[in-house]
Structure 1
Amino acid sequence: MRLSLALCLAATLVTPTLGLAEGKSIIVLDASGSMWGQIDGRAKLEIAREALGTVLAGMDPATEIGLIAYGHREKGACGDIELVVPPAAGTAQAITDAANSMKFLGMTPLTDSVRRAAEELKSTEAKATVILITDGIETCEADPCALGAELEASGVDFTAHVVGFGLTEAEGQAVACLAENTGGKYIQASDAGSLVEALKTTVVVQPEPVVELEPLPEPTPEPVTAVEFNLMPTAVLALKNDPVPDEEGMAWEVYPLAADGTPGERLTTEYGNPELLLDPGTYRLIGFLDEASAQMDVTLTADATATPILNLDAGRVILSPKLDATAPVDDGAAVQLTLPDGRTTTYYGLTDTVVPAGDISVRVSIGNALARTSSPRPVWPRSKATIPPTSRSKAAPMPW
C-alpha cells in the first residue's frame, strides 16, 4: 500500500483584499507515511511544513483559517480525521506549530477529508473552495472524482483546486478529476520552489495585474433633434389678418443662404402650410399666392421650431364681368389686370385672384363691349366688384 500526503484548503470566498483569500478556510493535512519520501535529498514532510509556514506567514492576520489532519494518530485507520485548529482569525502560527509537531503515520482518505472540510464550513450554504496538495492517491477505497461530481450535481457552490506534489502523470490524472468536475485547476509541483508557488497560487488570491489603459476618446456628440419639424411658416395677406388657408395653394420656395447672405440653389418647393425639418442654418423663404409674392430670411436650429409669418401685403380682387347688372357672368369675358408693378395678366370669366397692394387697372371686354376701371388698394376680407362694360363698335375709337 502506498501512503500519501495531501493538504486541502476549503474556503468560503468573498472578493479578495490585498491579494489574500478572505472568508473561513480549513487546511486539511494528510499526515500519511509517504511524507517520509524524499525530493532532492529532503523529506517531503519537511518541504511541506516549510512551504505551509511560508504561505501562512504571508496571509492577512484577519483571515479565519483552521486545520484538519488525518493519518497522524494511528496507522491503517481511514477514520483518523481530526479538526486540530478550528477556523478563526489569527491562527496561522498555531497551524504552523501543529504541522511542525505532527506525526506522519497513516492512510490517505482524501475523499472523506474533502467532504469533512465542506461540512465544517457548511459549504451547502455558502461558496466554498478546496485546495488539495497531495503526494499520492486515495487509499481508502473512495473516489474523489465521484465526490466532485456529486457536489457539482447537488448544486453546492464548491470548487476544488488540486496540487500534485511529486505525482506521476497517471497518479495526477486520478486526482485531477476532482478539480475538473468542480471547475477548479490541477497544478503539478515537483520540488520545494514549485510547491511554494503552487500554494501561493491556490491559497493566496493573486491580484489582477494593473493595466494602464489609454483614455477613451471623447464621444462624438449626437446631433440634437429635439423637434419633429424646425420650420412651419404661414402667410397673411396683411398684418392682423388671419393666415392664408392651406387650400388656397400658397407656394413656398426655400433657398439656403451663404455667410455673406448670397442665396444658393433652390432647396425645395412646398405648397400650403408646410412642415419641414432642415439642417440648422439661415434660409430665404419666398412665398407666392396668385399674383402676390414676398420674401423673408429665417435662421433655423435643431432644437426649436421656427414659425415665421410672411406678410404678402396683398388683397383679393373678385370681378364678375356682365353686359349689365342683371345679366349672368360672361365666361368668355377677358379680364386684363395691370398690377402696381406694371405687370399685366389676363383672366376669363369670373375672376378671383390675389394681387399686390396698390392701384389695379382693370380692362374688361365682352365681344365688342369694353370697360375699364381703377380699383382702390385691395384689402382683406374679400370685396367684390361688378363691372358692366360699355358697348363699343370695333371701329369706334377707344376713350383710353
Structure 2
Amino acid sequence: MRKLKKILIGAVAAFGLAAPALAAERAIIVLDGSGSMWAQIEGDARISIARETLSSVLAELPGDLELGLMSYGHREKGNCGDIEMLVEPAAGTGAAIAAAANKINPKGMTPLSDAVRLAAENLRFTEQKATVILITDGLETCEVDPCALGSELENQGIDFTAHVLGFGLSDEDGRAVACLAENTGGKYLSAQDGDDLVDALTAAVAEVAQADPAPEPEPEPAILDENFTIEAALAEGGELLNSGTGKGLAWELRQAGERVEFGYGVPTKQIAPGDYELFVRYGPIEQSQPVTITADTLAAPYFVLNAGKVIVRAYADEGEPVANGATIDVAYPGGDERAYTEAEFIVPAGEITVTAKVGQGEVSESFTLAAGETVEKELVAGVGLAVINASYVEGMTVEDSGMAVNLFKATKAIDGSREKVGFGYGPGDEYQLVPGDYVAMVKMGEAIAEAPFTIESGERTEVNVVLGAGVAAITMPGAYSFEMFSAKTDLQGNRQKVGFGYDAEHQTTLPGGDYVVVVTYDDDSETEASFSVTPGERTELTVEKGASKSKTK
C-alpha cells in the first residue's frame, strides 16, 4: 500500500507539474461509488483503498493544482441520475476531497459515462484544457456508450483527456471502457491485484511526466461558428428547455438512416451542412422532423413535446416522513414507469394514474395532466407497523437470528387456509401492514407458535409470540445418525418424528414435553434414550452406546 500511495502521489503531481509555464492544471477525479466498490483487492475493500490513497496523495499536491471530486452511485440504488459534484475544482482542495471520499457509501448504479460528461462540462472542456480521471470497478450500467462519449468529448474539447483506472476488470470488460480513454488520447490502466495496480500506474505516470507541454491553443475566432441548436417546449408557446431543464433531452441526426451526430441536453454546436432527420427523446416522448443545416444560418428546429411533469411522494401514514423504499408507479398514455421513495416523471399529457406501495399498503390516484403542467401528488398508504419478537416463555426473549416469521391475515378461507402477507427471519423484524387483524407464526427449531394481533393506521404494534419451548442439547459419541420422536404414541402405536441428523452433537428448540432419541451406530446397533424438555429451560443429554443420561438446567 505504501508503494501504491507513492505512485499515486507521483501521478497526480505530474498533472500539476508537467507544464509549469502554463496556467494551473484543472482536473476532476470521478470516483466510482457503486455497490461493487465493496469488493476486495488483496483483502482490502476497493473503496477503502481509494479513500486511503486519496488522503495520502492530496496531502502532497502542489498548492496551485485545481482539483475537484465527483462520485456516482453513492446515494441510492437503481438511479442512473445519482451523480454528484462533491468538491468543486479549486486550489487547496486536498483536505476537502479526502473528507468527502471518506463519506462515500457505495450502493447504486454505474453511470460512468454521464459522470465523465458532467465533469468535462464543469471543467469547460470546450474552452480550455481539461482532464478527467475516472476510477471504476465496473462497466456502464445506464445505457450510454462510453466509446462514443470519448469521441464526442475529443471532438468538442480544446485539449481534453480522460484516463480510466479499472479495478479487477476482465480483458473483455476492460476493452469496453478503455475506448473512453483511448478516444481522448488518454490511458486505460488495468489492475487485477495490488501489484498490477502499482505497475500500471507507474507506466502511466512515467508517460505523463515525460510528455511535452501542451501547445498553446489557436486563438478562438471572435464569432463562434455554431449553426445548430434545438428548441423544445412541453406545450405550445411554453418555456423552452434550457441547459438545466433540458438535461434529460437526447437527440441524434441521421442521414440515410445512419446516425451521424448525437448528444444530450440542448445543443449549440457546429454541424456539417446538409439535410438530416432529427430525432429527439425526452423521458418517454419521442419525436422527429427533417432539418436542413447550412453554414451561415442557425438551424433551430422547434418541438412541442405535449408533455408534463408529475412529482410523487409516498408516505406510510399522515404526518410521517417520506417512506424509504416505497415503490412508485406511474401509468400514462402508451406506457408506464417505476421509481422509489420520491420520484419525478416526465410523461405525455393525458390520463395519468400514480400508485404508491408502502409495505403491504397500496394507494392509487388518477388525474388528467395538461401539456406543460406540473402536478405534485402525496400518496398516503395508511399502514401501521408490526414488530415481531418471540420468547421461550414469558420474560425469556428469543435472540437467535434463526427464528423464522410468517405473517397471515387472520380470516380463513373456506378450506381453512390463510393468506400470507409477509415473512422474514430474526427477532425485531418489522412489517408495514394495512389496518386489520393478523396472525404471526414463529418457528424456532421444532417449536411453532402463533399470536393474533391487530394493526391500526400509523400505529406501532409490538407482537410477542410465546413458544412454550426449551432447548435440548444432545451429545452422542460415535453416532452415525439419530432420530428424535415425541414420546407419546398414536392409536397405531407410532411416535411422531420431530428431528433427525448425522452429527454426534445436536441442539434444537422443542415444545415442552417428553421425547425419545434413537441413536444408530456404524455397526447398525441402536441406543434409545428418553428425555424431557421444560419450557424456558435447557436440557442436556449424553447418549452413550448402550446407556444414556440427561441433565436439565
| TM-score between the two structures when normalised by the length of structure 2 | 0.33
Q: Whose strand proportion is higher, 1 or 2?
A: 2
Bigger Rg, structure 1 or 2: 1
